Amino acid sequence: MLVDNVGDVTISNDGATILSLLEVEHPAGRIFVDLAQKQDKEVGDGTTSVVVIAAELLRRANELVKMKIHPTTIITGYRFACREAVKFMTEQLSIKVDSLGREALINCAKTSMSSKIIGSDDDLFAPMAVDAMLAVKTINNRGETKYPVKAVNVLKAHGKSARESIFVKGYALNCTVASQAMKTRIPNAKIACLDMNLQKTRMHMGVHIVIDDPSQLEDIRKRESDITLERVRKILAAGANVILTTKGIDDLCLKEFVEAGAMAVRRCKKEDLKRIAKATGATLVASLANLEGDETFEPTLLGTAEEVVQERISDDELILVKGTKVVNSSSIILRGANDYMLDEMERALHDTLSIIKRTLESGTVVPGGGAVETALNIYLENFATTLESREQLAMAEFAAALLVIPKQLAVNAAKDATDLVAKLRSYHSAAQNAPTGDRKKVFMRYGLDLLKGEVRDNVTAGVLEPTVSKVRSLKSAFEAAVSLLRIDDAIQCAPEQKEERDPHGH
In degrees, rounded to 5, the angle at the alpha carbon of residue 444 between the alpha carbons of residues 441 and 446 is 120
Residue type, 381: E
Distances (CA, A) of 349 to 110, 115, 149, 352, 425: 11, 12, 10, 5, 33
Q: What's the DSSP call for residue 444?
A: G
- Whether 47 is a known active-site residue: answer yes
In degrees, rounded to 5, the angle at the alpha carbon of residue 90 between the alpha carbons of residues 84 and 92 is 85
DSSP letter for each residue of 355-411: HHHHHHHH-EEEETTTHHHHHHHHHHHHHHTT--STHHHHHHHHHHHHTHHHHHHHH
What separation, in Å, do the N-terminal and C-terminal C-alpha atoms of the chain show? 49
Strands across the sheet containing 152-158: 152-158, 330-336, 166-169
Burial pattern 245-277, b for ≥16 Cβ within 10 A else e, equals bbeebeeebbebbbebebbbbbebeeebbbbbb
Catalytic residue among 48, 228, 245, 246: 48
pLDDT for residue 222:
80
pLDDT for residue 99:
67
- Whether 14 is a known active-site residue: answer yes
pLDDT for residue 314:
65
- Whether 351 is a known active-site residue: answer yes
Beta bridge partners of 191: 242, 303
pLDDT for residue 283:
87
Catalytic residue among 47, 228, 246, 359: 47
- Whether 213 is a known active-site residue: answer no
- Residue 147, classed as helix, strand or coil, is coil
- Residue 339, classed as helix, strand or coil, is helix
Stated as kind and residue range, the H or E segment containing 242 is strand 242-245
Catalytic residue among 40, 122, 351, 449: 351
pLDDT for residue 505:
64
Q: Which of 373, 369, 420, 427 is nearest to 400 (CA)?
A: 373
pLDDT for residue 503:
65
Residues 329-338: tens digit of each pLDDT: 788 888 888 8
Which portions of the chain are predicted below pLDDT 70?
Answer: 99-100, 203, 314-315, 499-503, 505-506
